[in-house]
Amino acid sequence: MAFAPARVAPAVAQRLQIPLQVLLMSGYLFCAISGEQVAGTLPANLVGM
């Protein structure tokens, strides 16, 4: 029974992987679109990151 939590963790990570990726991608797109509308272009040091 000591190893039971270790078996649950991969199942939880697998179940949350797709929603987390969708959330991160939608956040990235939101920031990219709003950044284009507000600032126009990004400075070179931000583009290189």
- How is residue 16 written in tokens? 């949350």
User: For residue 39, what are the domain limits?
Assistant: 5-46
Q: How far apart are CA 17 and CA 19, in angstroms?
A: 6
Q: What is the pLDDT of residue 25?
A: 94
Q: How far apart are CA 10 and CA 12, in angstroms?
A: 5
| pLDDT by 10s per residue, the chain, length 49 | 555 555 666 777 788 899 999 999 999 888 888 877 776 665 666 555 5
**Total number of domains constituting the chain:** 1
